[in-house]
Amino acid sequence: MLLVAGTIFAQTWRLGAPPMPSNRRMRHAISHLVAMELARANRTGARVLDLGSGWGGLARRLAAEHPEIPVVGVERALIPLLWSVLMQRLRGPANARFVYRDVLTPPAECGPAQAGPTVLVAYLAPDHMARLGRALLERTGPNETVLVSAAFALHGYEPDRVETLTDLYRTRVYLYRGL
């Protein structure tokens, strides 16, 4: 038990964000925005990536809500990742999978080859959003990527929509299109 707790603590220190699951209100807002964007987009070839998927609950929920869309959880903390893989094997859904990758890994290297739009989901930390913003600026290709970010804005970009939750912290959920 101590070893598990120590490993989680050390990886949180190294990665700069704890494997803290998004709360119910955040998940509701994320789920709503993802559904809205998938409805706007051509769903053929679309996929969803949860950047920093933690224990996998959000990615598995999104996968259950969109059974025809592959949902990939991208995670580098080993214990939450193994838990996510185990839960997916035991409970599904079949269109969810989890990979050991950095959140800055280009989406094409995280999931099955897709021809359509990618919806990124993030609940990370300010430093991650600054690095993600820089990585997205350097990326070339069709600007079909959408980002839904809970609590932290993407540096260098104006959000297309901001939802303010009715929780204690008035948490914001940001939507960016055309990245």
Q: Could you tell me whether strands 146-150 and 172-176 are parallel, antiparallel, or unpaired per DSSP bridges? A: antiparallel
* Binding status of residue 54 toward ligand SAM by CB under 6 A: yes
* 86 binding ligand SAM? (CB under 6 A): no
Q: How far is the CB of 102 from ligand SAM (least distance, A)?
A: 4
Residue of the chain from 46, 124, 154, 175 that contacts ligand SAM (CB under 6 A): 124
Q: 8 to 27, contacts with ligand SAM by CB under 6 A?
A: 15-17, 19-22
Residue with Cβ nearer ligand SAM (45 or 82): 82
* Residue 97 CB, nearest approach to ligand SAM (Å): 15
User: Least distance in Å: CB of 92 to ligand SAM?
Assistant: 18
> In angstroms, rounded to a whole number, what is the distance separating the alpha carbons of residues 29 and 85?
25
Indicate whether 107 belongs to the interface with ligand SAM (CB under 6 A): no
Report the interface residues with ligand SAM, using CB under 6 A: 15-17, 19-22, 50, 52-54, 57-58, 74-77, 80, 102-103, 123-124, 128
